Amino acid sequence: IGWNNMEFERMGWADEGDPAFGANAEGLATPQGRFHMVGDQVTFWSGWQEGALLSAWDAVKSIDRQANSR
């Protein structure tokens, strides 16, 4: 059963179909100095562990680039 069909789980995550979603998610996922936002909510895989892992992996790569650019 899909989460969207569970009675008390409706509207539990972002709406990727919203026209503003892509720009907002990209803004949240873009590092602000040393601060990195991660999670499924900043990907097109909201509500899925894969989105959270991909987001975390992107943050780790960004941190590595920042740390090794000196």
> What's the pLDDT tens digit per position in 2-38?
766 777 766 666 777 889 988 988 898 899 988 999 9
**Pair 42, 56: CB distance under 8 Å:** no
Q: Which pLDDT band, with edges at 50, 70 and 90, does 58 fall under?
A: very high
Global pTM reads 0.70
Rg of the chain over Cα atoms, rounded to whole angstroms, equals 14
Residue 60 reports pLDDT greater than 90 = yes
**Pair 59, 38: CB distance under 8 Å:** yes
Q: Which pLDDT band, with edges at 50, 70 and 90, does 63 fall under?
A: very high
The pLDDT assigned to 10 comes to: 61
**Pair 43, 54: CB distance under 8 Å:** yes
